[in-house]
Structure formats: C-alpha cells, structure tokens
Chain A
C-alpha cells in the first residue's frame, strides 16, 4: 500500500501549487503597487490642473475689466473654497482681495459723485441758491461791488476760476454747436459787464470733491 503523504507525484503537485500561488500573489502585489502609483500620479496631476486654473481665475480677477465686482467676488470665493495650499496662490488671493476692495471703493466714490452731480443738477434747476439764480443776481447786481461779492460766492461751487464753460448755441441731429469756450471766471464777469443772463445751466460735471469741473450752458 502506498501512503498518500509519501506519494512523490502528489508532493510535486503540492509544491507546484504553492509555487503558482506564490507567483500569483507576487504578481498581484506588484500590480497593486503600480495602480497606487498611477492613482497618486493622477491625483498630483489633477491638483496641478486645479492650481493652474485657480491661478488663471485669480489673474482674470486682476485683469479682466469685463467682469463685474460680483463676478470677481464669486470667482475669488470659489478659489478660496478649493483650500489649496500654495504660496503663489495665497499671494494671488491677497492681490485679488485688495483689487476687489479697491474696485468697490472706486465704485462707491463714483456712486456718491453721481449722487452729488444729480443733486447739483437739481439744485441748479430748483435749489435754494441755484447757479441760474447766481447768474441772474450777478447780471442784475446794483453795483460792481455787489456783483463782485456774488461772483466770489458763486466761485465757491467751482473747481477753480479756469473751470471750462461751454455754451450751446444750437443742437442738430444730436450734435451740439458751441460758442467759443470760456472759463467760469470770465463768464461770471461777462454777466456783470453785460448785465444780462441769457443762458441757463444745461449740464454740470463734478470733481471728486463735489465741485463743478465743467459747466455746460444753453441759450434760454
């Protein structure tokens, strides 16, 4: 009788089995290692792409004038939510924040200037001491001294004595024809000299301090 445990054929097949198992295990292990590496590489590449896009988005905040402030804020918020740690990106984020802040301040300043301009226009038409009233008062002043006093007062509303004054003499097809441009100082003295005020305020442009930096008049 032959013992199965001592059967050489059986022993050989067992060895072969374990050998194959070892080979299979070894191959599987190597494959797993490669996949992990690939996954790491892919993750790194994805991160690099994400970083590049984030930088491009931040650059667009700084350079693209067609974006609104809200759009810029949304882009910045999206980039920050990515939570990428990169010194260059951090620097760009800081620059973008400053840029948006500057734009907001500028927009606010422009809004206030527009408000002042509108107020000035309204005042010029119906305010308590309007420009048109100044013009009329100067033209009808009873004396040179009185006229000069009014000119001095009125000048306070202007950026300076050389503030340009344009007088529309006619309008056609949306185009305006002007008289030779003058300055506010000359114009106010003209009213004093000629003792007539034949023009009224048509438009004013204000400077950042709310003073008139350009005045447009039109024949009454």
Chain B
C-alpha cells in the first residue's frame, strides 16, 4: 500500500513537473524543425561523398567521422536490395565502411523528397522526437556496363535536446540534434 502511494505521488509530481516546463514559441519550434531537417540533408551529402568512388580514401574516412557525429550512440542503418526481401541493419559506422567499399566502379546516391512524417513532439523527458522520411536513389555502375538502380524509402528518427555548454567562460544554450535508427520501409526499382 505504501509502495503504491509512493508511486502515485511520484507520478503526480512527474506529471506536474512536465506540465510546468514552458513550451517553446512557434518561432523557436520552427527553428529546431528546420535545424533537424538540415542535419538530415547534411547526412545525405555525407553519404553521397562516402559512397562516391571519386572521393579519396582519407577524405572518405574524415567524412565518416563527421557523419558519425550526427548519430546517437548505437544508431542503426537499414540496408535493402531488390534481390532480397530481407532488410539488414548495421551500426552506422559499419554501414559507412561498407558503403565506401561497395564493389562498383561508380556509385551515386541521391536523397530526395525529404520531409517530416511525424513532427517533432516534446516528450516527458523534455526531448523532442520526430520522424523524417527520405527517398534514396542508389545507382551502382561497373565498367563492364552492369548497372544496379533502386529507390528506397527510409524513415529517420530524429531527437532534439536542449543542452548547455561553457564557451569563453559563459554558458551557451544549444539544441542538439541527433539522428537515431534509419529504417527501410520500401524498396523498389527506379522507373
């Protein structure tokens, strides 16, 4: 009975604390929506650089490190193919390394139609979580003329959290955007 009472009190207090958190203005909300979208677009560019056979090895590795900074710890990337129904999930670094080593002579990766399918919504812990969908056109070409093209729809979970850090002796408040798992929801041939 005592335990139940403690839990009830805790839940009431937690709810009150959540209710007391000031909601951000629509302008600030738009700014973080836009920031999260920009991070996804940045990832798109990084993936394109890493996959490109024109990118020098050292540059690709540097870009992998930069791309890794966009992800939360333990985030996974789904990989699909027209040749199999199975969707494999890799840790993002492993995914980037595999992407860099793909057995094609030319690789082009483009993301398009990037949009929110689930708006950023504040969670009880104060973080904002949303989902952005992207379409990826993958083209792999070999010198012998073999060409593979597919279009994959992927959902990216996005986390935005208010954090603080100290710079030049003063406290700086910032919005930290981190990408979570990227899940494949559809794979089809390109028209």
Contacts and interface: CB of A to CB of B under 8 A. Distances in A.
B31 A170 contact: yes
A106 to B, nearest CB: 18
Given A189-B66, A193-B45, A144 B173 contact: no
A164 B62 contact: no
Contacts of B56: 144
B144 interface: no
A213 B169 CA distance: 13
A179 B167 contact: no
Interface string A141-168: 0001000000000000000000010100
Contacts of B62: 189
Looking at chain B's contact residues, is the secondary structure mostly helix, strand, loop, or mixed?
helix
Contacts of A189: 62, 66
18 contacts: A144-B56, A144-B59, A166-B172, A169-B31, A169-B32, A172-B27, A177-B31, A178-B175, A179-B35, A179-B175, A179-B177, A180-B163, A180-B175, A181-B172, A186-B66, A189-B66, A193-B45, A214-B167
B45 A178 contact: no
Residue among A144, A169, A186, A195 facing the most chain B CB atoms (10 A cut-off): A169
A205 interface: yes
A190 B41 CA distance: 12
A174 to B, nearest CB: 13
Contacts of A181: 165, 167, 172, 174
Nearest to B177: A180
A179 B63 CA distance: 19
A166 B62 CA distance: 22
B5 to A, nearest CB: 41
Chain B: interface size category: 20 to 34
B150 interface: no
Contacts of A180: 163, 174-177
B25 interface: yes
A34 interface: no
A194 B42 contact: yes
B31 A166 contact: no
B34 interface: yes
Which of B31, B32, B49, B62 has its CB near the most chain A CB atoms (within 10 A)?
A: B31
B168 interface: yes
A180 B66 CA distance: 13
Contacts of B31: 169-170, 177
B138 interface: no
Given A193-B45, A193-B63, A214-B167, 4 more contacts: A170-B31, A177-B28, A181-B172, A193-B66
B42 to A, nearest CB: 6
Contacts of B25: 172
Contacts of B49: 193
Closest 3 CB pairs of A and B: A170-B31, A178-B174, A169-B31
Given A164-B167, A178-B174, A181-B172, A170 B45 contact: no
Interface string A61-94: 0000000000000000000000000000000000
Contact of B174 (A144, A177, A213): A177
A177 B175 CA distance: 7
Contacts of B28: 170, 172, 177
Contacts of A190: 42, 66
Contacts of B34: 169
